[in-house]
Structure 1
Amino acid sequence: MTTLSFEAAGAASIAVDAKVPELVGDEVASRLVAQDPTLWGPDAEAEASIRLGWLNPGESSRPLVGQIAALREELAAESVTRVVLAGMGGSSLAPEVITRTAGVDLTVLDSTDPDVVAAALEDRLAETVIVVSSKSGSTVETDSQRRVFEQAFTDAGIDAKSRIVVVTDPGSPLDSAAREAGYRAVFNADPNVGGRYSALTAFGLVPSGLAGADIETLLDDAELTAEMLRDDAPDNIGLQLGAALGGTEPLRNKIVIVDEGSGLAGFPDWAEQLIAESTGKLGTGLLPVAVEPGAPEMVSGAGDVLTVRLVPVDSEALPEGDQVMVSGSLGSSMMLWEFATAVAGRLLNINPFDQPDVEAAKKAARGLLDSTPEPTEPSFIDGSVEVRGSADLLGTAHTLRGAVSALLRQLGTDGYLSVQAYLDRNRQAELAGIRPELAAATGRPVTFGWGPRFLHSTGQFHKGGPAQGVFLQITGKPARDVAIPDRPFTFGELISAQAAGDAQVLSDQGRPVLRLHLLNRAEGVREIENVVRALAADESRS
């Protein structure tokens, strides 16, 4: 039997008391589980009518369990035991949290950084199967990763088609191409589920099951939870969490999520893409901020921050201040948060199933790839860091510290800082340590995302949500480049275009953007860390 718990205090408790009776009266819970597309208004009805399949995960997903287990056994008999996942957004974040929570190995390739791609290619290729996941069947990152692995298998004398498994929507370009190519297996996902709600569909289950996770129990818990959430009752946890997220007045739109021993490894990152892409549009929305226990945001007392603590099942801790506490198994929690996000969308008066601003950065990147313009000259170089920013932003700054300080001065009292690192999240993992230091230095929420994967999650909020963000983009010269078979660009050129395209769109919308390019990654990371540490120390002394 599944176990879920929810407790709220402060502004979150007030929102629950104010909004849940209204949600119960409108029969939101039963209508949602019944997949009623009218819940979000007439403008959202057409999209919602084809995006609610996630509320019945067993219908399309239960038959996959046996098929995935059989394929895993076949591959193991051939000594193919390493699973690589090529996917972006929900297609990668859900399997990552499922396998990390289960303690099984999955290589998640959701980057176009050449160093990351090269490392994935060089690790036990003879034992590798690659799962290529793309809902649309035309995701440029995923297509590029498939091409380079297919070539690597062939060059190594391995039958490439026997090592490629595809997950996509029926009828997509990838669906037909994969079947024509004779790839090892093609799994079709439920087309009535959007990517960020797809954790319990083929996109979450195929790579996780092949890696060895217990996907049957995951589905069992999710189905039991869906039954629990259908009740139009004041104690419905899905309504309560949805009200806390989307019903505070004034809206606390910075949702600080901290894992305090929940056992759900990486869950805040998965929740981040679910919430940000679902709600960040029409100038409103919720910005999830994944933080560490004891992070500055948890004690800032800021009026636009709501803290959500993920705690172990049966935890005896109590929420304090403006907080929410949630616990549950992974399958239950995934269903709960998807449900609550849809409820929050109703309270925010937005369509939680579209992503109108995600395409802007993709178009800009494609334009830069097609035109291959000369790189823009840096505003100046300090050490091993090239600094780029508008004259209005940089002013008289001529050092790295001065440039970062100039960006931070653009932060409003309701603002946030987004750090976007287009680097190797394995080799440059320590860079994420600047997140809490920047939060301490600014007194404002700070998000940290690895590019280009964040473009498929928080990228929607950055452009479609309220104009409150300032952006620190960090790129770096890779140790080597990797060609993409039958494409006129390399991985190095692709990630550069993605970074430049996103910066261009943000700048065009009037968002302050500081771009730092590391001529030497190791040295540049140290220089940035030193600057941020000094700024945080200055703030602590003031």
Structure 2
Amino acid sequence: MLHFSRDFSFENTAAHQNMMDDAFASISEEYKSGEVGYYNLPHDSHALLDEVQELIQGNILLNSGQIKDIAVIGIGGSSLGIKAVNSLMLSKNLNTRRLHFFENSDPIDISRTMAKLRKENTLFIVISKSGSTIETTSIFKTIISYFDLELESVDSQRVIVITDKGSSLSLFAKHYGVKQFNISDNVGGRFSVLSAVGIVPLTLAGYDTKTLLDSAEGFLTRFFNHEEDHILEKACHFYEHSPMQSINVLFAYANDLENLCKWYVQLWGESLGKINTQEKNVGLTPIGLIGSIDQHSFLQLLIEGPKDKTVTFVSIEDFENDLSIPDVTLKHIEKTNFVNSNSFNTLINAQCDATRESLIQSGVSVDSIVFQRICEGNIGTMIIYYELLTSLVGAMLHVNTYDQPGVELGKDILYKKFGK
């Protein structure tokens, strides 16, 4: 269960209601028309669960239990959502196959990650919607060479491809008899975590992806039945204050939430930073922080710096870990004894509450999302919640939430640098 609350004031005026009604109608049309595919993923991706089980039964490497590691080769939307779920669930599912990520052109990181793996125990999943992502294809070539993958023989079962149907990577998979899963044309990369992009590797790793999908589908249904209208009010508040408060900070109080913050940064930034239909440059800048660490690095700016930020606190009510602070007195630092015998669970949430209250007193716009505990169901709700919120704000900003023309410019320049 997730609990959503806000400490900012919101007056539901006629103008606000019209804005929320228009945005709701806009994304309802996207949903009903099938123009935007992510709305259908919580339901449609259930079919992938059976397909993955068939794959496990038919793949001798998976069926024999030989595969202990899964290497995910992808970048941005092809990896961030998977990493977010994996980071949150890894400490709870210790018997899963381990996921490893190749997502950057950094030669040290590529070498270090390859050195952790043994060919005989590893399944390689190559993810690229377009099929020609330069980082992904370059790393894949390196892995083929490093591990001496013989794709014409048994090693074809050691590779899985996730891509658009008919892409260059899809044609590669057909040529070598490599198993492939396809992404719908109307599902963008940053909205694809509940598609084959996320569901296939997470299911193979051993996570309860059925519950992940069920929870997302339940929230989606409630939203379109007007049972989750708080999300409309939040979107309206963000839009209305965007000229003065153009920065949204996700302040997450757990280290394992860091990759969720990174997923949010891509989703929010790439979807909303656009030239809108009125030819204006618009957008909301996303920042991900981790508490209590960033209380010691960023909090001063939030409290006494420009009032151009809104802050969303994300916390975990029950960490399901009873580690406590020992009742130990140390000479000269006795003033810290007030926390002795308390759990770290209590401490970090008290720090979150105190930071939130300090921002409220300083006039910063604040809202909160609380995980009752970390589980696949709550993560599925969080994913669809932020995707819906992004679509609503995009509708209010009058942008195409689902394209990324600014990203394509950099790709064109890169190709020119290599003389292509």
Short-chain TM bin: 0.7 to 0.9
Partner of 1:288: 286
Residue 4 of structure 1, CA deviation: 3.3
- How many residues are matched? 353
Q: 1:4, 1:326 within 8 Å by CA — same for their partners in 2?
A: yes
Q: 1:51, 1:353 within 8 Å by CA — same for their partners in 2?
A: no
2:351 is the alignment partner of 1:351: no
Note the alpha carbon deviations across 1:445-482, whole angstroms, 9 max, x for none.
xxxxxxxxxxxxxxxxxxxxxxxxxxxxxxxxxxxxxx
Partner of 1:187: 181
1:343-492 alignment runs, 5 A limit: 343-370=392-419
Gap change, CA 1:35 and 1:114, over 3 Å in 2: same
Question: Which amino acid in structure 2 is aligned with residue 119 of structure 1?
Answer: R
Residue 200 of structure 1, CA deviation: 0.6
Q: 2:309 aligns with which of 305, 310, 314?
A: 305
Gap change, CA 1:36 and 1:221, over 3 Å in 2: closer
Q: Give TM-score scaled by structure 2 length.
A: 0.76
- Any unmatched runs of 5+ in structure 1? 38-48, 372-542
Partner of 1:5: 3
| 1:200 partner SS | coil
Partner of 1:35: 30
Q: 1:168, 1:188 within 8 Å by CA — same for their partners in 2?
A: yes
2:132 is the alignment partner of 1:134: no
1:152-163 alignment runs, 5 A limit: 152-154=146-148, 159-163=154-158
Partner of 2:163: 168
Q: 1:198 aligns with which of 192, 195, 204?
A: 192
Residue 301 of structure 1, CA deviation: 4.7
| 2:79 partner SS | helix
Q: 1:327, 1:333 within 8 Å by CA — same for their partners in 2?
A: no
Q: 1:5, 1:326 within 8 Å by CA — same for their partners in 2?
A: yes
Partner of 1:209: 203
Structure 1: how far apart are the matches of 2:210 and 2:406? 35
Structure 2: how far apart are the matches of 1:288 and 1:99? 22
Question: Which amino acid in structure 2 is aligned with residue 253 of structure 1?
Answer: S
Residue 312 of structure 1, CA deviation: 2.5
Question: Which amino acid in structure 2 is aligned with residue 71 of structure 1?
Answer: L
Note the alpha carbon deviations across 1:258-310, whole angstroms, 9 max, x for none.
11249645211110000000011122211111113223344245221111111
Structure 2: how far apart are the matches of 1:249 and 1:122? 46
Q: 1:188, 1:202 within 8 Å by CA — same for their partners in 2?
A: yes
Query: Identity percentage over the alignment?
Result: 27
Gap change, CA 1:251 and 1:15, over 3 Å in 2: farther
Structure 2: how far apart are the matches of 1:345 and 1:336? 14
Note the alpha carbon deviations across 1:231-284, whole angstroms, 9 max, x for none.
347x51321332233331644111111112496452111100000000111222
Partner of 1:89: 76
Note the alpha carbon deviations across 1:484-532, whole angstroms, 9 max, x for none.
xxxxxxxxxxxxxxxxxxxxxxxxxxxxxxxxxxxxxxxxxxxxxxxxx
Q: Which has the higher contact order (CA 8 A, sep 6+)?
A: 2
Residue 135 of structure 1, CA deviation: 0.7
Q: 1:275, 1:287 within 8 Å by CA — same for their partners in 2?
A: yes
Q: 1:5, 1:237 within 8 Å by CA — same for their partners in 2?
A: no
Structure 2: how far apart are the matches of 1:187 and 1:249? 39
Q: Give TM-score scaled by structure 1 length.
A: 0.60
2:375 is the alignment partner of 1:326: no
Q: 2:254, 2:290 within 8 Å by CA — same for their partners in 1?
A: no
- Any unmatched runs of 5+ in structure 2? 91-95, 276-280, 319-348, 372-377
Gap change, CA 1:15 and 1:134, over 3 Å in 2: farther
2:225 is the alignment partner of 1:231: yes
Q: 1:24, 1:232 within 8 Å by CA — same for their partners in 2?
A: no
Residue 52 of structure 1, CA deviation: 1.5
Question: Which amino acid in structure 2 is aligned with residue 323 of structure 1?
Answer: V
Gap change, CA 1:61 and 1:256, over 3 Å in 2: same
Say which is worse superposed, 112-121 or 276-285, in terms of deviation.
112-121
Q: 2:262 aligns with which of 264, 269, 273?
A: 269
Q: 1:306, 1:322 within 8 Å by CA — same for their partners in 2?
A: yes
Q: 1:56, 1:226 within 8 Å by CA — same for their partners in 2?
A: no
1:521-536 alignment runs, 5 A limit: none
Structure 1: how far apart are the matches of 2:175 and 2:71? 22
Q: 1:254, 1:287 within 8 Å by CA — same for their partners in 2?
A: yes
Question: Which amino acid in structure 2 is aligned with residue 88 of structure 1?
Answer: I
Partner of 2:388: 339
Note the alpha carbon deviations across 1:182-212, whole angstroms, 9 max, x for none.
11x2011222111111111111111212222
Residue 50 of structure 1, CA deviation: 6.6
Note the alpha carbon deviations across 1:26-84, whole angstroms, 9 max, x for none.
3x4365245258xxxxxxxxxxx775211122343110012224434641515112001
Q: 1:131, 1:164 within 8 Å by CA — same for their partners in 2?
A: yes
| 1:7 partner SS | strand
Q: 2:242, 2:284 within 8 Å by CA — same for their partners in 1?
A: no
Q: 2:70, 2:123 within 8 Å by CA — same for their partners in 1?
A: yes
Q: 1:30, 1:231 within 8 Å by CA — same for their partners in 2?
A: no
Q: 2:20, 2:233 within 8 Å by CA — same for their partners in 1?
A: no
Gap change, CA 1:301 and 1:8, over 3 Å in 2: farther
Partner of 2:108: 115
Q: 1:86, 1:108 within 8 Å by CA — same for their partners in 2?
A: yes
Structure 1: how far apart are the matches of 2:86 and 2:274? 31
Partner of 1:395: none
Gap change, CA 1:36 and 1:100, over 3 Å in 2: closer
